Amino acid sequence: MLSENPQTIVALANRILAREGVLDAFGHISLRHPTKPERFFLARSLAPELVTQQDVLEYELTGEPVAPTEFAHYSERVIHSAIYRARDDINAICHHHSVAMMPFCLTEIKLRVVTQLGATIGAVVPLWDQRVEFGASNHLVTREVEATSLARALGSNNLVLMKRHGATVVGRNLRELVFRSIYSCRDADLQLRALNYGEISAFTDEEVKLAEKFPETTMRRAWDYWRSRLPDQNVDQKNPGA
């Protein structure tokens, strides 16, 4: 377990995923409250690389903030609340629009495991198409009914692709979430590169199951490395104008 307070590690996770190219100006990360499972932590509406500890707010599983605030909220925070309600085993969530992952949301190419670290993806990657159930939309997930549908499509899997939109990734803890978010994108990028050279030799489902069980020491090793790469690890400094 991470020893720092939840707001601090959520801020660090935001900065790590921004630094490693999973998030840019958009996307968001949440963490279920460690002692109050009916609540979760999520930053206010802010570019992930700028998130500090003070920007991380506490929310109910309805998606509403616990305490009144003048800050703007992420419009898609219902993604997090719906998945936490549907999955008791999940304690961290990331929604992103990584360039590496988007080709799998725009075409019929199947995201597959092609590396050992990429096995964190899991053997099954569902694809949710908002248009099928809800017709034409702006492709934001801002309504409870849409988020519930997305959570249902995710099922018991590790991530769900969102047609023409992006991906939503889940984890049992924040280290696992960051690990999965980064290596699923790297696996996707490698798969796309390999397609230029010929047919891809992907992992079998049996091989994925054998490879996907990463120990906590592996998660900690990766987390410590990514954290060391942050140009500024001070997440306590308040954003100007906040």
Catalytic (active-site) positions: 76
Separation between Cα atoms, residue 133 and residue 135, nearest integer Å: 6
Q: Tell whether the torsion through CA atoms of 154, 209, 12 and 99 is positive or negative.
A: negative
Phi, psi dihedral angles at 41 (to 5 degrees): -105, 135
Q: Token pair of 17, please?
A: 């995923």
Q: List beta partners, residue 128.
A: 162
